[in-house]
Amino acid sequence: MVSSSPLPPSLLAIFLALILCVVGVKSTSTIPTKIGKGYSLISIEETPDGGLVGHLQVKQKNNVYGPDIPHLQLYVKHETEDRLKVHITDAEKQRWEVPYNLLPREQPPSLKQTIGRSGKNPITVSEYSGRELIFSYTADPFGFAVKRKSNGQTIFNSSADQSDPYGNLVFKDQYLEISTRLPKDASLYGLGENTQPHGIKLYPNDPYTLYTTDISAINLNSDLYGSHPVYMDLRNVKGVAYAHAVLLLNSNGMDVFYRGSSLTYKVIGGVFDFYFFAGPSPLAVVDQYTALIGRPAPMPYWALGFHQCRWGYHNLSVVEDVVENYKKAQIPLDVIWNDDDHMDGHKDFTLNPNNYPRPKLLAFLEKIHSQGMKYIVIIDPGIGVNSSYGVYQRGLANDVFIKYEEGKQCPTGTGPGWICCLDCKNITKTRWDDPPYKINASGLQVPIGFKTIATSAVHYNGVLEYDAHSIYGFSQSVATHKALQGLEGKRPFILSRSTFVGSGHYCCTLDW
């Protein structure tokens, strides 16, 4: 019998270290920092609405993060005196975009309309001016820039030089990349929500990931409940202050790399739908931004008062005690809340008959209302699975629930739907749950279909969770706003943890 002599532990350790080293080098060297050679602009012409439409063709195909989309449509328009839109999508196939009914805005020309029309009104100049912003482009490789008329400053420039740490435009089904050069002394704010150890000013080389999640803000450099892919850029140009903002209206998960002298977006789906707001003051930027995404919702006056909310008020007597104790301590209280403690088995719109009997609750409400106080209850997005539960029955009848794996209903099982929806099943093998590029969601570059509803699950109308993940809370706010306004005919007060660009028009954000 031949005995194999095991390697001494120290050698084994070196051997393992070598393997790890080789693997490490290999895995980083297979993904180049510059992917492909970009696109070239093969035609550009004016549209009847005063915009520009162009066609881009990929220069050299590769398979990093999937095949390139060969033809792209570029659409550019000065939508107002202070707002420029730059939209880039697949020229041949409709792609996911932030739904136009959720966030109303002008649509780019339909793909059919523009394909094959090139040469009708060809553009020969490479600049397209608005009142303050000037769009310009280079054709090969394609890059675009946005300049200010008043001071000549370039505020965005996607063309990459050899020496830049980033490459040209990349457009795949599940990976989109675009960068801009920035002056080193520009101050950027935004790209929320993130836990930022260095404060609200963007800090070079900190990771900024946008993918809505329920995470404790104690974790630094992590994405949080909201997704707001917008930043304001403040510059001192020869002693004069200028502000502008850049919004990338995209709901898919993304990493944004801010390096101080450049910024790169790496997005795992959707399209490039950019908006540039000219400012030049921060207030003007906010005015121009909310003119597009919707003005903040006016709150009822009482909502500006003092609120008390927490989970764990086991029964109505506890709530009554809390209100009473505020009075004893002479702290004015305007609003008292219930988390899901009042519900019957975590079921939305129900009352626990033992701990929150309806007649007693109504008497309590009458009392606090007579003292000028208000009462708010929390609603969870998960609908409990219970055949005797009307909300669940009506949801089934209207076929509104999320589905996974060929029409299987979500929620399934017995508990409240949201406790064991899809994540518990670990459906991580689809290209949606495990996309080729791993965003740094929750600080981990891992498949995204875990710890959330599976991203391969489909919502009403075939919408993929992969695309809609970060706008779920936003769409819930829109629906809640509509329902409450219909019921009372008064300004509703809605507080949401999960927000997106435009949520402020319907609710306000809850920040810890």
Contacting residues toward ligand NAG, per CB under 6 A: 136, 145, 147, 154, 157, 159, 161, 207, 221-222, 314-315, 317-318, 344-345, 386, 388, 414, 424, 426, 440, 443
Going by C-beta distance under 8 Å and a sequence separation of 6 or more, which residues neighbour residue 375? 335, 336, 337, 338, 365, 368, 369
Q: How far apart are CA 64 and CA 55, in angstroms?
A: 23
Q: How far is the CB of 504 from ligand NAG (least distance, A)?
A: 26
Q: How far apart are CA 143 and CA 139, in angstroms?
A: 7
Q: How far is the CB of 71 from ligand NAG (least distance, A)?
A: 24
Q: How many CB atoms lie within 10 A of CB 79?
A: 17
**Cβ nearer to ligand NAG, comparing 260 with 443:** 443
Q: How far is the CB of 424 from ligand NAG (least distance, A)?
A: 5
Q: How far apart are CA 448 and CA 438, in angstroms?
A: 8
DSSP assignments along 88-125, one per residue: EEESSS----S-TTTS--PPPPPHHHHTT-TTSSB--S
Of all residues in the shown chain, the one whose CB is closest to ligand NAG is 443
Count of alpha carbons within 13 angstroms of residue 188, beta-carbon side: 30
**Cβ nearer to ligand NAG, comparing 325 with 426:** 426
**Cβ nearer to ligand NAG, comparing 114 with 440:** 440
How many residues comprise the chain?
Answer: 512
**Cβ nearer to ligand NAG, comparing 440 with 476:** 440
**Cβ nearer to ligand NAG, comparing 251 with 262:** 262
**Cβ nearer to ligand NAG, comparing 5 with 388:** 388
For residue 378, CA distances in Å to 175, 368, 495 come to 37, 18, 9
Smallest CA-to-CA distance from 290 within 298, 133, 57, 265 is with: 298
Q: How far is the CB of 308 from ligand NAG (least distance, A)?
A: 17
Kindly report the CA angle at 295 between 178 and 493, in degrees rounded to 5?
120
Q: How far is the CB of 389 from ligand NAG (least distance, A)?
A: 6
Kindly report the CA angle at 154 between 148 and 157, in degrees rounded to 5?
130
Q: How far is the CB of 426 from ligand NAG (least distance, A)?
A: 4
Going by C-beta distance under 8 Å and a sequence separation of 6 or more, which residues neighbour residue 402? 410, 411, 421, 422, 453, 457, 458, 459, 465
Q: How far is the CB of 1 from ligand NAG (least distance, A)?
A: 40
Q: How far apart are CA 350 and CA 362, in angstroms?
A: 14
For residue 234, CA distances in Å to 131, 195, 289 come to 20, 21, 15
Q: How far is the CB of 333 from ligand NAG (least distance, A)?
A: 20
Burial class for 95, CB neighbours closer than 10 Å (0-12, 13-18, 19+)? middle
**Cβ nearer to ligand NAG, comparing 110 with 414:** 414
Q: How far is the CB of 29 from ligand NAG (least distance, A)?
A: 16
**Cβ nearer to ligand NAG, comparing 321 with 488:** 321
**Cβ nearer to ligand NAG, comparing 25 with 318:** 318
Radius of gyration over every alpha carbon of the chain, rounded to an integer in angstroms = 26
Beta pairing class for 207-210 and 254-258: antiparallel
**Cβ nearer to ligand NAG, comparing 114 with 442:** 442
Q: How far is the CB of 105 from ligand NAG (least distance, A)?
A: 26
